[in-house]
Amino acid sequence: MRRTVWTRAQTTSGLKNVLFGVTPGKRLCLATAGTVVGGKLEGVKGPSGEVRRRGGDGQVRRFEEIPHTGRSGWVNLVKFWREDRFRHLHKYMQRTFNALGPIYRENVGTVSSVNIILPSDISELFQSEGLHPRRMTLQPWATHREIRKHSKGVFLKNGEEWRADRLQLNKEVMMSSSVKCFLPLLDEVARDFCRMLQARVQNEGRGETGKRSLTIDPSPDLFRFALEASCHVIYGERIGLLSSSPSLESQKFIWAVERMLTTTPPLLYLPPRLLQRIGAPLWTQHATAWDLIFSHAEARIQKAYQRLTSPKKRGLDPALEGVQYSGVLAQLMEKGKLSLDLIKANVTELMAGGVDTTAVPLQFALFELGRNQEVQERLRHQVRASWAQADGDPHKALQGAPLLKSTIKEVLRLYPVGITVQRYPVKDIVLQNYHIPAGTMVQACLYPMGRSAEVFEDPLSFNPARWSTSKEGGQPEGGGRGFRSLAFGFGARQCVGRRIAENEMQLVLMHILLSFRLSVPSSEDLETTATLILQPETPPRISFTNL
């Protein structure tokens, strides 16, 4: 296995970094100011051919000295297109860190970034994110809203506007009191999903009754589960996706989210307004996909609005008064702190962000549990004991099975939905002894970090228990403790759907483990591809055997 060791000469800020990239039979010694050209490393060569360090006087180095992948953003962009790097950006980043060390600069088209991998550097970045943290703007999404004259939600807003919306959303989806309210809704969908799976195993599986087994690609069912769960929590509505004949409208929504996600990365590096003006097919596909997502949300919101303003719900029917929690949308409408327009914008974003992001990690989770039987048994043991104690209460059941949460963390370490988290520091900072001016886009690169032996012990093994040790992540030391589990981002701007996602995934895994033994026909590593989210190139097949 290829292993790169970064030795730190000094501590956190103001430290010098020496890189010894060790590949079998090859040793690369590089300090700074290297550049990768045509896949090879270029730098200042010393007499023995090694790349010599510049500016080794302990002074903070200039921004321009950060190793980089080529000066011209346009040349890089052409390479990205030609070599299909967008789809393998995660692997490309991993290779580039191996070649250039724990920090490098990159220009692609109009976008420039500084990329980092070590928790200590990410911690430094986090401390300078300010009161209104900013991520890289997904310009194609923003342009779609502007052209169609839709309001933007938290995903696309910045500054005080972002904060005002975000504080309202946090109350409905992040606070533990609201989590307790929507947990039973998620649990209901997770149980229905398992019932549907049981019926399929019974009808289509092989083997004697009670011990039947079925091998399938579960991804279409997981997408339906995730959409059904999102609709239940957000709109308070069941849309019947787990029935035998799901509606065409919902299938179209799932298709549209997928199309919107796959068309985003190439559009990030091109000016969307120009593409719109010339009628470029890529832009048209992207905008049409968003239009479909918006019309799906609009129809659901109208329905919920009618329900909410009907005399029964308004409290004229005493039998219904204060009885039920009816979803995030209803809560936002009842509180009346956000305008209807802003509620629509934010709820549409929650829907667009809430389906693939959970359906895909669930595929990875089933695959990893299927090929790691011991881990699966240990987890099932804990889940069974907890479920037996919980008396049907999903909150208690999850509390009693912490290994479930660790399993999700471990899946997201190896397969982070978003391969980077970006921030623009509000003040100048020093990373790896390089000066980073305020306002620079810095990316914490989660995929390479999750697989780095510098950050995690035995990084390629699937071991949820590593998260329950006192050293978070069971990692070798390296500073920045804590900044290792970052799949949901960090700080005030972290994923607002985090609690929905974590609970939804844990609950469905819990019910699956209570009903089935999982195995995989092939335990070969999965090939992955990065659209806007990291996905398996081909969805894995999983065997479900009745317990």
Pick the closest to residue 129 from 362, 421, 344, 418 (CA basis).
421
The residues, any chain, with a CB within 8 Å of residue 510's CB and separated by 6 or more, are 190, 383, 387, 397, 398, 401, 404
Give, in order, the Cα–Cα distances in Å from 156 to each of 343, 368, 536: 14, 34, 27
**Residue 349 in the binding site for ligand HEM (CB under 6 A):** yes
CB of 235 to ligand HEM, least distance (A): 12
> ∠ at Cα 267 (415, 70), nearest 5°?
80
Number of residues that bind ligand HEM (CB under 6 A): 26
Nearer to ligand HEM, 436 or 501 (CB): 501
CB of 32 to ligand HEM, least distance (A): 28
Nearer to ligand HEM, 33 or 254 (CB): 254
Nearer to ligand HEM, 166 or 484 (CB): 166
Beta pairing, strands 434-436 & 528-530: unpaired
**Residue 166 in the binding site for ligand HEM (CB under 6 A):** yes
Pick the closest to residue 422 from 28, 137, 38 (CA basis).
137
Beta pairing, strands 111-116 & 442-445: parallel
The footprint of ligand HEM on residues 396-455 (CB under 6 A) is 412, 417-418, 421
Sheet with strand 26-30: strands edge to edge? 3-8, 17-23, 26-30
Nearer to ligand HEM, 271 or 539 (CB): 539
Q: Report the alpha-carbon distance of residue 491 to residue 126 in Å, rounded.
A: 7
Only one residue has tokens 């200042």, namely 44
Nearer to ligand HEM, 358 or 372 (CB): 358
CB of 186 to ligand HEM, least distance (A): 11
The footprint of ligand HEM on residues 500-529 (CB under 6 A) is 500-501
Nearer to ligand HEM, 85 or 157 (CB): 157
Residue among 30, 89, 154, 214 that touches ligand HEM (CB under 6 A) = 154
Nearer to ligand HEM, 225 or 490 (CB): 490
The footprint of ligand HEM on residues 465-504 (CB under 6 A) is 487-490, 493-497, 500-501
Q: Report the alpha-carbon distance of residue 266 to residue 285 in Å, rounded.
A: 12
The residues, any chain, with a CB within 8 Å of residue 317's CB and separated by 6 or more, are 311
CB of 165 to ligand HEM, least distance (A): 8
Q: Check the annotation: does 29 bind a ligand.
A: no
Tell me which stretch binds ligand HEM (CB under 6 A): 32-40, 48-56, 347-355, 518-526: 347-355
Q: Report the alpha-carbon distance of residue 283 to residue 280 in Å, rounded.
A: 5
For residues 396 and 389, the answer to whether their CB atoms sit within 8 Å is: yes
**Residue 232 in the binding site for ligand HEM (CB under 6 A):** no
CB of 265 to ligand HEM, least distance (A): 15
The residues, any chain, with a CB within 8 Å of residue 291's CB and separated by 6 or more, are 148
Known binding-site positions for heme: 495
Residues of this chain that bind ligand HEM (CB under 6 A): 135, 154-155, 166, 349-350, 353-354, 357-358, 361, 412, 417-418, 421, 487-490, 493-497, 500-501
